Structures are given as C-alpha cells and as structure tokens.
Amino acid sequence: MSEVTERYAPGVPAWVDLSAQDREAAQRFYGELFGWDFEVGPPEVGYYTQCTVRGLPVGGIYQTPSGEDGPPVAWTTYLATDDVDATVAQAREAGGQVLMGPMDVLEEGRIALLADPTGAVVGLWQARQHIGARVVNEPVSPCWSELATRDAARAREFYRALFDYELHDMSGFDYTTLRVAGRDVAGVWGATDVLPPDVPAHWAVYFAVPDADEVAATVTKLGGRVLREPVDSPYGRFATVQDPQGAVFGVLRLPE
C-alpha cells in the first residue's frame, strides 16, 4: 500500500480531478472501471465529489457547464505549493496566465488554476485540512503526471521558475523528468511530432492498474475508447484511453 499521511512537497503532483458534463455518469464509469467509491460534497462546493479507495481520497469529479463556453472535459493535475499566492505571482512573472483564483476551498485548502506559456492547464494546491491524494502508486490510484507540449524547453523554464525542480533528461527522445529531493515526480515531453494539430499542450494523468490490457478492454465495454493500444515500456505496460465524455487519461501497470 502507498498511503500518504503528510503534506506533499512543493512541486509534487498532489491531486487530480475530472471536469465532467455529467458528474453522475462519470461516477458510474469510473466506479465500474476502477471500483472507486464516492463521497459527494455539499451544495456550497457544487457537489464536488471525491473518488476514494479504502475510504481514502485519490481524486475528484466536478460538473462543468455544457456547451461551447464551458471548460473542456478533462483530467487536471494539481501541483503542491506552500503558498499558492506567491506561486501564482511567480507564474505571472514567468509568462503564465491565471485562469482561476487563488481562492479558498472551505477549510480544505487554497487553489488556483494556471495556463503555462505553452498553453497547458495546471492546478496549484495549498493544503490545509485536505493534503491531496491519500493513496498513490498502487492499483486504481494516480501514479504519474506528464506534460505533453510542443515547446518543452519553454515549459521546463517555466516550471523550474515556480518550483526549482532538478531536471533529468532522458536519452533517445525529448523527455525530461522533474525531480524533487532527487525523486522523479513528473515529466515534460516534447511531443511536437506526436500531438495532432487540434490537440493543445496538456498535462496527462496516469492511473496504476493491475492489468493494462484488461482495463483498456473494459473502457471499450463501458462506452469509452482506446486511443493507444497497450504497449510495453521500461516503466510498465501502458495504454491511453478516453472516457465516454471525452476525458483522456493513461493506465499503467507498474513494474513489480
């Protein structure tokens, strides 16, 4: 088990959530796919729903307005910070755009939403009562977040200005891991030749699963799509899939 009991260090992905046009339909899909349970919040937070494993939160789901003016259906990664207001100020200076906040979420924490200079949306989370995901790196919990962008150099510059990451370049292709205290916590992928013209830069969320092939097949049975068939990598067997409302995410069987 990989339970988290302390606040995440600055720069480490602390939370993920899904903006859905139909929150209850999203609960049914992910409940069947991952076996998650759900805790629906009060009206003052728009019935924000926490996805739980063994009663511990691993992510969230909230409903967005439908139509062209509403935000896209997508999973969002939130990076931990000890001072969200200061990090937002740094983001502005480094060329980012503030999309929302900073604002308090009851007594749980303080939040902001940014667009980095390459166009990818990322969240910030300053923990108070809610530290973030309490289960990670085990089946049906978050295990990795990576930025796919057409300008990896600019992205690395931006995120390092926010969190002073250590950078580790991988050989063979344009991929850099972001390190905190010597540990890889996220990735930046220069995906210029891979991203379709109509797909913007974005942060991708991966969930650990016991069997990537089985989960990909289940996605299809539940009305979703497999965008990239399961394939082996040095970091485990993974696939890219899309839920019935259009949110894209990865599933990864971690090496034993």
**List of the chain residues with pLDDT < 70:** 1, 67-70
The one-character DSSP state at 212 is H
Question: pLDDT (tens digit, 9 = 90+) per residue, 11-33?
Answer: 999 999 999 999 999 999 999 99
Per-residue pLDDT, 67: 62
Angle between helices 152-163 and 84-93 (to 10 degrees): 140
Per-residue pLDDT, 177: 96
Dihedral, 114, 120, 123, 124 alpha carbons, nearest 10: -70
User: Is residue 201 within 8 Å of 153, Cβ to Cβ?
Assistant: no
Per-residue pLDDT, 171: 74
Q: Which residue stretches of 70-180 are H helix?
A: 84-93, 152-163
Question: pLDDT (tens digit, 9 = 90+) per residue, 82-119?
Answer: 999 999 999 999 999 999 999 999 999 999 999 999 99
Per-residue pLDDT, 69: 66
Closest by CA to 17, choosing from 147, 121, 104, 159, is: 121
Closest by CA to 183, choosing from 140, 136, 149, is: 136
CA distances to 196, 201, 208, 225 from 236, rounded to whole Å, are 25, 24, 10, 21
For residue 110, what are its two tokens?
């303080």
